[in-house]
Amino acid sequence: MHCEFHPAIDHIAANLWDALNVTRSPFLSHAFLSAAERCGAVAPALGWHPAHLTLHDDSGLLIGAQPLYLRTMSFGDFSHDWAWARACQQLGKDYYPKLVCGVPYTPASGARQLIHPAAERASISRALTDATLQLAAHEQASSVQYLYLDDDATLRATLAAQDFLLRRGCQFHWHNAGYASFDDFLATFNADRRKKVKREQRRVSDAGLRIEVRHGGDIDAALWQAIYPHYVATFVRFGNHPAFSIDFFMEVGRKLGRQLVVFLARDAANDVVAAAICYRSDDTLYGRHWGADADYHSLHFALCFYSGIDYCIREGLQHFEPGAQGEHKVSRGFEPTPTWSAFHLADPRLRGMIGDFLQREQAAVQQYQDEMAEHLPYRKAE
């Protein structure tokens, strides 16, 4: 086996990369990663330096791969390590560069190593991780970060064997219990919470708004022109940078087709007044971006949560991950769910400090998750 690092995802054939993406994650698709690089979201000016890793066997067959980035800042990777960078400085060390295996601007759990289904997973996983650590040493990176891991037991065992530290987070996810309809789902709520949801839905319809669903292949340039300002507006309102350009969305919409899902709200004049941009795999819907022209009462809940749940039920999807943060999701049926990332720190002093912090943080996150679970809207008998 031999490894190669690539300064652009387009240096790797799309069909070969996508053949390893067996979970059909939209975020690990060649189309998503390529558009992010070529449309300016993943660029040196924003601290992203691609170093994607591929592993071939002796016959030249691609048997493993990792999305990989040398980072010169933490903006956009959702590692939440700003305080660690300051601590590293206090030790007289440079925190950047660091090496990140993850998806740009996307705190969604998923596969981080793409492995050929016929290959021996443990050896491939170890070879990919070894190569990653070797690159980190060569670049004098402070750390290697595998962000937002899925339940891949092989990768977790590999990381544990190589002294990675695990970090626990908490998001709020919806899970499909075989519901026949949105009303069937709502019937599991207690009476008070069920009335509130129906009231929120009514407020949207009473405002003269209607919601429609579009997939990437159904959205032309003119409709993207109507959608895109809503994406930008939310970032501007909170003083953040909207990394993805309209060209990015037009490209991924065209290439991903039904894997990109947009929920639109139109007013009586048929104008688009709000949009929620989502992605989907074969079993999960991922909420990513939302924005509206004005503060329509309850529209955020109806467009970003209830429309997504209804879509999952109709499409037979098993999970809905509406994005990071948001305790208001709990009362609407989204359960507190742990997320996991893994970190390898080169400096033993920094590793000791962060290891101690992570132990205390994990206990606090577990307590928070337990407290949030007490506020779920489901009937107690359920």
Give per-residue pLDDT as tens, 87-115: 999 999 999 999 999 999 999 999 999 99
Query: Identity (one letter) of the amino acid at 93?
Result: K
Q: Which residues pair with 320 in a beta bridge?
A: 174, 285
pLDDT of residue 237: 87
pLDDT of residue 325: 79
Average pLDDT, stretch 227-251? 94
Whether the model clears a pTM of 0.85, i.e. scores above it, the answer is yes
Question: pLDDT by residue (tens digit) across 256-285?
Answer: 999 999 999 999 999 999 999 999 999 999
- Provide the token pair at 24: 């059909």
Average pLDDT, stretch 76-90? 95
Confidence class of residue 218 from pLDDT cuts 50, 70 and 90?
Answer: very high
Average pLDDT, stretch 360-381? 92
Beta strand extents in the chain (DSSP E only): 2-6, 48-50, 52-56, 62-66, 69-71, 98-101, 114-115, 143-149, 165-175, 210-215, 260-266, 272-280, 284-292, 319-321, 335-345
- Using DSSP's 3-state secondary structure scheme, residue 221 falls into helix
- Between CA 50 and CA 43 the distance in angstroms is 8
pLDDT of residue 303: 97
**Percentage of residues in the chain with pLDDT exceeding 90?**
96
* Alpha carbon of residue 47 to chain centroid: 19
Structural domains of the chain ordered from first start: 2-170+337-373 (3.40.630.30), 177-317 (3.40.630.30)
Cβ neighbours of residue 304 under 8 Å, at least 6 residues apart?
A: 263, 276, 287, 290, 322
Is residue 336's pLDDT more than 80? yes
Q: Are strands 319-321 and 284-292 parallel, antiparallel or unpaired?
A: parallel
- Between CA 32 and CA 216 the distance in angstroms is 12
Confidence class of residue 319 from pLDDT cuts 50, 70 and 90?
Answer: very high
Is residue 170's pLDDT more than 60? yes
Question: pLDDT by residue (tens digit) across 19-74?
Answer: 999 999 999 999 999 999 999 999 999 999 999 999 999 999 999 999 999 999 99
Q: What is the mean pLDDT of the chain?
A: 96
Confidence class of residue 7 from pLDDT cuts 50, 70 and 90?
Answer: very high
Confidence class of residue 382 from pLDDT cuts 50, 70 and 90?
Answer: very low
Average pLDDT, stretch 323-348? 94
Question: pLDDT by residue (tens digit) across 113-152?
Answer: 999 999 999 999 999 999 999 999 999 999 999 999 999 9
